[in-house]
Structure 1
Amino acid sequence: MIRTFFALFMLISTVIFAQNKLNLIPYPQKIEFSKGEFIIPGNFILDEKLSKKEREYFKKYFGKFFTLAYGKNEEIHLVNALFPPSAQPLSEEQKKEKYAIEISPKRIVIQSYTEQGRFLALQTLIQLFEEYKTVKKIPAMKIEDQPRFAWRGMHLDVCRHFFTVDEVKQYIDYLAMYKLNTFHWHLTDDQGWRIEIKKYPKLTQIGSKRKESMIGAYVDNTFDGKPYGPYFYTQEQIKDVVKYARDRHITVVPEIEMPGHALAALSAYPELACTSGPFEVATKWGVFDDVFCPKDETFTFLENVLDEVIQLFPSQYIHIGGDECPKTRWKECTHCQELIRKNNLKDEHGLQSYFIRRIEKYVNSKGRKIIGWDEILEGGLAPNAAVMSWTGVNGGIEAAKSKHVAVMTPGAYCYFDHYQGDPQSEPNAFGGFTPLEKVYSYNPVPAELNAEQAKYILGVQANLWTEYILDFSHVQYMIFPRLMALSEVGWGTSDPENYKEFEGRVINQFKILDQMKVNYARSIYNIVGKVVPADSGIAYELSTSQNSNGIRYTLDGTVPTINSAAYERPVSVPASLTIKSAYFEGGQLKSAVSSQQFTVSKTTGKKITLEQQPNENYSFGGAFTLVDGIIGNARQLGKTWLGFQGKDVAVTIDFGQKTAFTEVYFNTLENKGSWIHLAKSAKIFVSDDNRNFKLIKEIGTGEIQNAKGKIKVNVGTQNARYLKVNIENAGIIPAGNPGADSKAWLFVDEIGVN
């Protein structure tokens, strides 16, 4: 989107207001500067036509700047007005969030069509007053603004870990600050049922607590031994939160999971399952085979639950989950198999479609619509369903091409439970690597869609799953500052080419978060390391959001000081070593100390090609990740691993010349709860021409299992230019494992030779 800025350079006392950008997030669509400035008065007189709740909001956020009064004469400093009739007719949707602010030397005029538009204008004014409160002067300007996308959302999982009503309200305040308009409340899952349903009291009596919780990284497989809960929201508390959000023009979309992620419900009402149980609320994270059985009593139960949910939530959409539903129990269930035959369904995926369609018909009969994760596409999409595309962008593309609306929330860009900085210096996270810059780079409209199809992209959302987030302080850490990037992406004014300019505005916003005592991530200040190819193999490129002249580093593993080597250019890594780096300012340490260990082999930095690409959630660095000299940490599935779902790994490495070696090594992972399985087998080949390859080693399942995925094999004396390694994916996950019948994940890191 092209933005034109008219900047008039004005010298006012000692303050120069001329600037290319204001410190606003999300940045408005259009700003025009004009002559003069508005002097912030001691007594600020508001238009009396503002509603009572707008006055209360004004008092809460502006009362710290000046004394407020209300009036209707010429002395009014903030005037509330409607837009004049437009020559071009606008739809109600276009009018809803459109606003303008005109700041002149005498007053500030807000124009809008709706109360929601005025509210968004207030958020812009709050940021402007925060920026200019010290000098007490705001440059004269005209802002014309409205969002690109109708759905700008944030999700919060309260099932894995619970958050109080006050904390949920704080979360909603954060959304309002940055003009997000949808709060997706994930209320039911295997690990807890968090919403009171009066017709089924055992859902909260039994389903809202668990005997213990998994702690640490998933691979640790350890538990705290402490009962968790009962934790849930009463219906009165839900009404309170919904009203609180509505007052801030935020829609609350509830999620009631089905047909999978149902263990908490089945623990309370086991008769809704395909087997007799007994069941217990899950203590581990992951996916479980026991799901809702598609029988009449199950649908009666779910319809009754939805009746109460619909009474509590006025949202147009009800989220029904639909994701990660194993078909193991359905395959073994006589009733399910008879249902497939009776309804001429193709298979269990068809049965999932039958399930979702039946629920959709009921929800539609209540005047509402369903939205679900992109697995609801399995077996055919329900007629009026909306899709939330999380496994990538393909779900959204498929939905839009079939004229269904979609909300884009791909894990690679929009999962805020991923690491946002160096995993070695970050709190434990689910995995993946989604730094601020990557969130900011996202375009919610896939390039595969034409202009007509693109109209079905309703918007964008980020998700916060809380397996590893134990308290609200950690929630704050994971969403800030990434929520700011999401805000600007959803508003439609993000400009990835000028990310550094956005980064500067983010740092300026930290002053507001400091006042609010928000525990935001400071990863933006830390040293970012990137391995790059070099003549000698690899080099380590260091950068920071601050002046890179302040970076100091060491090569011997010691902690850097102000007297350590100053960073000037990428640091050569000729052999195995540890680089530690930090940022100093004014002689003082300002960042965390970053540490990176390198294990250099004969493949390090060499040209590498992959026949199949990794899943975009686990693709940071691409193929080069496998020859960057960094051995992946099995406890941190961050940026050092490549992940492939249902795909084999076929890698060819070009040494550049014939090279002698006797040993090949690589690592794969096992984490069955997350559907990650060790490789089934592997084959190693050599070639001198990249066409004719000779097999030199086969590695069977038993050898991989015995080595626990850490493969290091003797291949005899070899002398070749090309090395090819084929690593076979485990394939379809077998029955008895989480995610049975789904495609297994294969995680691979450094491929080296000695």
Structure 2
Amino acid sequence: MRRFLFMCSVIFSTVFHAQKKPDLIPYPQSVTMQKGKFIIPETLILSDKLPKEETEYFKKRLGSRIKFQNSSKIEGADMIYVPIPQLKTPIDPEHKEKYLIDISSKRIFITANTNQGYFLALQTLIQLFEEHKEDKEIPAMEINDYPKFAWRGMHLDVCRHFFNVDEVKQYIDYLAMYKLNTFHWHLTDDQGWRIEIKKYPKLTQTGSKRKESMIGAYVDNTFDGKPYGPYFYTQEQIKEVIKYAEQRHITIVPEIEMPGHALAALSAYPELACTKGPFESATKWGVFDDVFCPKEETFTFLENVLDEVIALFPSQYIHIGGDECPKTRWKECSHCQELIKKNNLKDEHGLQSYFIHRIEKYVNSKGRKIIGWDEILEGGLAPNAAVMSWTGVNGGIEAAKSGHFAVMTPGAYCYFDHYQGDPQSEPNAFGGFTPLEKVYSYDPVPAELNAEQAKYILGVQANLWTEYITGFKQVEYMIFPRLMALSEVGWGTADSKNYKEFEGRVIRQFKVLDKMKVNYAKSIYNISGKVLPASNGIAYELTVSQNPEGIRYTTDGTEPSISSQIYQGPVAVSKSLTVKSAYFEDGKLKSAVSSQEFTVSKTTGKKITLEQQPSENYSFGGAFTLVDGIIGNTRQLGKTWLGFQGKDVIATIDFGQKTAFSEVYFNTLENKGSWIHLAKSAQIFISDDGTNFKLIKEIGENEILNSKGKIKLNVGNQNSKYIRLTIENAGIIPAGNPGADSKAWLFVDEIGAN
């Protein structure tokens, strides 16, 4: 048990420092404000017995004048002193990350069991020193702090786009600043192999480069024509990064993808596939049919690769991927089919389980454990495997209920490649809509778990896939400020009821990021719009993190100015129009201009119900999204589309009274690289009682294909109280398409009637 005494010469003060809660992120478990204030001196004198690496980090981050002195010669002078007996609050010796800070008018005490706890305490002190840099006085307080979750992670994909050693170190520094403790390093994928394996030099000679890269939105299907790579990390560079992370008490979990996402590896060693190839590193984003073939030479290859990975990385867990593995090649492979029969496996999903079991057994023999994306549950989970639940929360629930550890990283809350602000004013992103508030609202422990099962939730992680992130400045933009929300969720002190208070702390933290020249997203300053049902259609509610009286808007298509209408409440939308809005302060434009076009029909704002709910990742706004007057942008799967994987859309709209109409429209989307297929068919029904429905129109696959998903149907003169649309999902993706044998996605936007 250790106690570190941080003492500085000060002018004694007993005046109660009546101040708001400190601007700490993540916020501590307990902060008790005391009387007095600690005056920050010009020079801090630290004991020479303090842990060296952590204290050097503190010195570098703080940028203050610091000198070290032999603690045995100090008697109450400016110092950190070790040891001090008789702790006020004993620390659980099993909790490595717990710490106490006691700030009085004369000194600062830090208590921690481990260097890691001391390091976390220093992160808190750094934030307090930064917050009070100008007034040079920190309010007296006691902080009793520890994290709720053992795994607080961030992921970085370096395969789609590569980031050099210095950039990876900077990324690790950002994690350390906000007390995250796990860095998930995604090192191999279809688009590039990024880690040197000495036994297999062609992995980096061939697999670390590609002939070109996809640019723009996926629907554009355009490429830059520029060779990319070779880009990879040598083993010496890997060791350098691991040491750097260890100094910041961050564990690096490496990911070696298998059995899918293997094109880069197969480009170097085509004999590991089910077919002869040749193969090349993927130039597109998405999922591809060619995967590792589960034959002995493949397992020998992977075991040799893992030997070198395990020798480099000291982490308990090795991530083996396991996600998005199409079974097309396995179905057509005589060896795979014979293996299924020989081992009495049910099907190709059973073969995937066989594959993962073999890899787990080998990794376990080396004293390590595997963790994989939740598809490793397919066909049965390996005995000691942990699950990273990304497709939603169900994978984590299933794992925990069966006594397996899980890290929660559902796309709806934890995918930082999604848009975080209005897609029209944001850089091109993968899709989805995950603003700061949504990240902050996440609870990693599913309500379906009891107290005993909840113990298997290791923690939470956010993922940054880099298809559309070409440089490190954009990495910064995508993780900040959402990383701050994640840190507080992982620490266990996030409370969605207090989001506005958290938002204020975030904005005040921006001063630190500005000083560091971090390119953070300023979406928090922009206006956010929300469509509400209203008595005469819909209303458009505008909110901003600052004073809402600064919002100006127009409805005639012109750009807002300081002389435009002052926002005083939700804007009524009873006809098709465009609302443009912006925030002004001191007569100057302080935000991006937000523009929202509305297409009003007879369904707009009406009551709507869905028999099957959309995927959590693409459910923003729920069923009302289909009648909110907003036509979805085919280039941006942000706020305006609902996505259904393997499910039909059955939507019933209540007009409220019998209503005449003769045209019905809706849109579906096609983006096969992301497994998104046009609807297979659609039927339109009407009813006057909401129970008995009559079919009035049907459209087939060819008509939908010919219309390219933009469906506008003449249904004759109708007059009914209810209208129902059944939009059929394409079902299982056929062979020859990305994601073959998986459930297709169906994306639908506005359902209108005129």
Please indicate, yes or no, whether the TM-score normalized by the shorter chain is above 0.5. yes
- CA drift of 1:68 comes to 3.3
- The one-letter code of the counterpart of 2:458 is L
Q: Is 1:598 the equivalent of 2:598?
A: yes
Q: Partners of 2:595 and 2:86 in 1: how far apart?
A: 59
Q: Partners of 1:295 and 1:690 in 2: how far apart?
A: 57
Q: Partners of 1:457 and 1:344 in 2: how far apart?
A: 33
RMSD: 1.4
User: Deviations 1:124-160 (Å, cap 9, x if unpaired)?
Assistant: 0000000111111111111110000000000000000
Query: Match of 1:29?
Result: 29
Query: Match of 2:461?
Result: 461
- The one-letter code of the counterpart of 1:692 is N
Q: Partners of 1:302 and 1:101 in 2: how far apart?
A: 47
- The one-letter code of the counterpart of 1:543 is T
Query: Match of 2:614?
Result: 614
- The one-letter code of the counterpart of 1:666 is F
3-state SS in 2 of match to 1:227? coil
- The one-letter code of the counterpart of 1:66 is R
- The one-letter code of the counterpart of 1:490 is G
Q: Partners of 1:626 and 1:17 in 2: how far apart?
A: 52
User: Cα–Cα, structure 1 residues 335 and 85, in superposed 2: closer, same or farther, change >3 Å?
Assistant: farther
Query: Match of 2:77?
Result: 75
Q: Partners of 2:204 and 2:669 in 1: how far apart?
A: 37
- Kindly indicate whether the alpha-carbon contact (under 8 Å) linking 1:190 and 1:264 is maintained by their aligned counterparts in 2: yes
Query: Match of 2:725?
Result: 725
User: Cα–Cα, structure 1 residues 84 and 644, in superposed 2: closer, same or farther, change >3 Å?
Assistant: farther
Q: Partners of 2:92 and 2:85 in 1: how far apart?
A: 12
Query: Match of 1:106?
Result: 106
**1:355-394 matches, cutoff 5 A:** 355-394=355-394
Q: Partners of 1:263 and 1:225 in 2: how far apart?
A: 19
Q: Partners of 1:185 and 1:354 in 2: how far apart?
A: 25
Query: Match of 1:491?
Result: 491
User: Deviations 1:239-288 (Å, cap 9, x if unpaired)?
Assistant: 00000000000000000000000000000000000000000100000000
- Kindly indicate whether the alpha-carbon contact (under 8 Å) linking 1:661 and 1:718 is maintained by their aligned counterparts in 2: yes
**1:5-24 matches, cutoff 5 A:** 17-24=17-24
- CA drift of 1:206 comes to 0.2
- The one-letter code of the counterpart of 2:690 is N
Q: Partners of 2:67 and 2:87 in 1: how far apart?
A: 31
Q: Partners of 1:399 and 1:479 in 2: how far apart?
A: 28
Count of residue pairs brought into register by the alignment: 739
With the length of structure 1 as denominator, give the TM-score of the two structures. Answer: 0.97
- Kindly indicate whether the alpha-carbon contact (under 8 Å) linking 1:270 and 1:278 is maintained by their aligned counterparts in 2: yes
Q: Is 1:563 the equivalent of 2:563?
A: yes
- CA drift of 1:84 comes to 5.7
Q: Is 1:162 the equivalent of 2:162?
A: yes
3-state SS in 2 of match to 1:733? coil
Identity between Structure 1 and Structure 2 (%): 81
- CA drift of 1:697 comes to 0.3
Q: Is 1:425 the equivalent of 2:425?
A: yes
3-state SS in 2 of match to 1:173? helix
Query: Match of 2:472?
Result: 472
User: Deviations 1:636-659 (Å, cap 9, x if unpaired)?
Assistant: 000100000000000000111111
Q: Partners of 2:164 and 2:84 in 1: how far apart?
A: 38
Query: Match of 1:9?
Result: none
- CA drift of 1:89 comes to 8.6
User: Cα–Cα, structure 1 residues 502 and 616, in superposed 2: closer, same or farther, change >3 Å?
Assistant: same
- Kindly indicate whether the alpha-carbon contact (under 8 Å) linking 1:254 and 1:319 is maintained by their aligned counterparts in 2: yes
Q: Partners of 1:711 and 1:235 in 2: how far apart?
A: 54
User: Cα–Cα, structure 1 residues 475 and 170, in superposed 2: closer, same or farther, change >3 Å?
Assistant: same
Q: Partners of 2:22 and 2:706 in 1: how far apart?
A: 59
Q: Which runs of 5+ in 1 are unaligned?
A: 1-11
3-state SS in 2 of match to 1:315? coil
Q: Partners of 1:552 and 1:18 in 2: how far apart?
A: 36
Q: Partners of 2:604 and 2:80 in 1: how far apart?
A: 63
3-state SS in 2 of match to 1:341? helix
- CA drift of 1:544 comes to 0.2
Q: Partners of 1:83 and 1:56 in 2: how far apart?
A: 25
- Kindly indicate whether the alpha-carbon contact (under 8 Å) linking 1:419 and 1:432 is maintained by their aligned counterparts in 2: yes
- CA drift of 1:80 comes to 4.9
User: Deviations 1:393-448 (Å, cap 9, x if unpaired)?
Assistant: 00000000000000000000000000000000000000000000000000000000
3-state SS in 2 of match to 1:200? coil
3-state SS in 2 of match to 1:431? coil
- Kindly indicate whether the alpha-carbon contact (under 8 Å) linking 1:81 and 1:112 is maintained by their aligned counterparts in 2: no
Query: Match of 2:3?
Result: none
- Kindly indicate whether the alpha-carbon contact (under 8 Å) linking 2:43 and 2:64 is maintained by their aligned counterparts in 1: no
- Kindly indicate whether the alpha-carbon contact (under 8 Å) linking 1:83 and 1:113 is maintained by their aligned counterparts in 2: no
Q: Partners of 1:38 and 1:249 in 2: how far apart?
A: 28
User: Cα–Cα, structure 1 residues 540 and 349, in superposed 2: closer, same or farther, change >3 Å?
Assistant: same
Runs of 4+ in 1 over 4 A off after TM superposition: 80-89
User: Cα–Cα, structure 1 residues 565 and 372, in superposed 2: closer, same or farther, change >3 Å?
Assistant: same
User: Cα–Cα, structure 1 residues 33 and 79, in superposed 2: closer, same or farther, change >3 Å?
Assistant: farther
Q: Partners of 1:580 and 1:483 in 2: how far apart?
A: 30
- The one-letter code of the counterpart of 1:290 is D
- Kindly indicate whether the alpha-carbon contact (under 8 Å) linking 2:17 and 2:140 is maintained by their aligned counterparts in 1: no
User: Cα–Cα, structure 1 residues 84 and 303, in superposed 2: closer, same or farther, change >3 Å?
Assistant: farther
- Kindly indicate whether the alpha-carbon contact (under 8 Å) linking 1:82 and 1:113 is maintained by their aligned counterparts in 2: no
Query: Match of 2:116?
Result: 116
**1:28-47 matches, cutoff 5 A:** 28-47=28-47
- Kindly indicate whether the alpha-carbon contact (under 8 Å) linking 1:80 and 1:109 is maintained by their aligned counterparts in 2: no
Q: Partners of 1:80 and 1:588 in 2: how far apart?
A: 54
Query: Match of 1:699?
Result: 699
- CA drift of 1:47 comes to 1.8
- CA drift of 1:104 comes to 1.2
Q: Partners of 2:611 and 2:379 in 1: how far apart?
A: 30
Q: Is 1:65 the equivalent of 2:67?
A: no
Query: Match of 2:657?
Result: 657
User: Cα–Cα, structure 1 residues 17 and 597, in superposed 2: closer, same or farther, change >3 Å?
Assistant: farther
- Kindly indicate whether the alpha-carbon contact (under 8 Å) linking 1:440 and 1:486 is maintained by their aligned counterparts in 2: yes
Query: Match of 1:7?
Result: none
Q: Partners of 1:591 and 1:447 in 2: how far apart?
A: 38
User: Deviations 1:561-608 (Å, cap 9, x if unpaired)?
Assistant: 000000001000111000000000111110000000000000000110
- CA drift of 1:626 comes to 0.3
User: Cα–Cα, structure 1 residues 524 and 396, in superposed 2: closer, same or farther, change >3 Å?
Assistant: same
With the length of structure 2 as denominator, give the TM-score of the two structures. Answer: 0.97
- The one-letter code of the counterpart of 1:507 is I
3-state SS in 2 of match to 1:379? coil
Q: Is 1:257 the equivalent of 2:257?
A: yes
- Kindly indicate whether the alpha-carbon contact (under 8 Å) linking 1:582 and 1:593 is maintained by their aligned counterparts in 2: yes
User: Cα–Cα, structure 1 residues 91 and 357, in superposed 2: closer, same or farther, change >3 Å?
Assistant: farther
User: Deviations 1:84-134 (Å, cap 9, x if unpaired)?
Assistant: 689989453x2x101011111211111100000000000000000001111
Q: Partners of 1:82 and 1:341 in 2: how far apart?
A: 68
- CA drift of 1:32 comes to 1.2
3-state SS in 2 of match to 1:722? strand
3-state SS in 1 of match to 2:245? helix
Larger mean Cα displacement after TM superposition, 220-229 or 32-41: 32-41
Q: Partners of 2:176 and 2:231 in 1: how far apart?
A: 26
3-state SS in 1 of match to 2:655? strand
- CA drift of 1:16 comes to 8.4
Q: Partners of 2:206 and 2:683 in 1: how far apart?
A: 50
- Kindly indicate whether the alpha-carbon contact (under 8 Å) linking 2:184 and 2:254 is maintained by their aligned counterparts in 1: yes
3-state SS in 2 of match to 1:630? coil
- CA drift of 1:52 comes to 2.2
- CA drift of 1:33 comes to 1.4
Q: Which runs of 5+ in 2 are unaligned?
A: 1-11
- Kindly indicate whether the alpha-carbon contact (under 8 Å) linking 2:353 and 2:381 is maintained by their aligned counterparts in 1: yes
3-state SS in 1 of match to 2:432? strand
- Kindly indicate whether the alpha-carbon contact (under 8 Å) linking 1:59 and 1:68 is maintained by their aligned counterparts in 2: no
Q: Partners of 1:136 and 1:80 in 2: how far apart?
A: 25
- Kindly indicate whether the alpha-carbon contact (under 8 Å) linking 2:664 and 2:713 is maintained by their aligned counterparts in 1: yes
- CA drift of 1:82 comes to 7.5
- CA drift of 1:295 comes to 0.3
Query: Match of 2:519?
Result: 519
User: Deviations 1:331-386 (Å, cap 9, x if unpaired)?
Assistant: 00000000000001010000000000000000000000000000000000000000
Q: Partners of 2:21 and 2:623 in 1: how far apart?
A: 38
- CA drift of 1:713 comes to 0.7
3-state SS in 2 of match to 1:711? strand
Q: Partners of 1:576 and 1:188 in 2: how far apart?
A: 48
- Kindly indicate whether the alpha-carbon contact (under 8 Å) linking 1:156 and 1:464 is maintained by their aligned counterparts in 2: yes
User: Cα–Cα, structure 1 residues 655 and 81, in superposed 2: closer, same or farther, change >3 Å?
Assistant: farther
3-state SS in 1 of match to 2:581? strand
Q: Partners of 1:67 and 1:396 in 2: how far apart?
A: 47
Q: Partners of 1:731 and 1:654 in 2: how far apart?
A: 28
